[in-house]
Amino acid sequence: MSDRKASGNKEDLKKFKEEIVHQFHVISEDVISQVRQVAEGVTNVNEKLDRTHEELKAEFDNKIQPVAQAVVSLSEQLDKTRQELRSEIQGIRQDLKPEIQETRQEVLAAVKFSYAELDKRITTLEKEFLELKHRVEKIESRSIS
């Protein structure tokens, strides 16, 4: 009886083992199938993300292009305006140069005239001062004598 039990137990264990292995294969195939589904889903999401990225990039490029063109246009206009201003300023300088020279000459002439006039006045004052000094000396010499 113990031999039968032992052989029955071995057989039961063997069947149990085979059943577990079979169940493991069934479960692992199901897991592998689910992993494949997840991988396909990830692939689909990646493809959709790539498409969305390309669409957004194209939309961004379409919207940024007019802005970039406007910036280039404004830059060209600014350069043109700067050049025009430089030319205009240069023209004004050329126009004012003779006038400045003329005014300078007039100021120099006025300074020379003023200097000559002041020199004449000082000379006159010196003469008058000497005359007054001379008169004071005469008056003082009369009063002493």
How many structural domains does the chain have? 1
Average pLDDT over residues 11-40: 91
Q: Which pLDDT score, from 0 to 100, does residue 55 have?
A: 93
Residue 48 lies in a domain: yes
The tally of CA atoms less than 13 A away on the side-chain side of residue 26 is 6
Residue 141 lies in a domain: no
Residue 120 lies in a domain: no
Around Cβ 133, how many Cβ atoms within 10 Å?
10
Residue 14 lies in a domain: yes
Residue 139 lies in a domain: no
**Exposed/middle/buried for 119, CB within 10 Å: 0-12, 13-18, 19+?**
exposed
Chain segment 109-122, per-residue pLDDT in tens: 989 888 889 999 99
Q: Which pLDDT score, from 0 to 100, does residue 10 have?
A: 84
Residue 30 lies in a domain: yes
Residue 96 lies in a domain: yes
Residue 54 lies in a domain: yes
Q: Which pLDDT score, from 0 to 100, does residue 126 have?
A: 94
Tell me the residue range of the domain where 46 lies.
Answer: 1-104
Q: Which residue type occupies 23?
A: Q
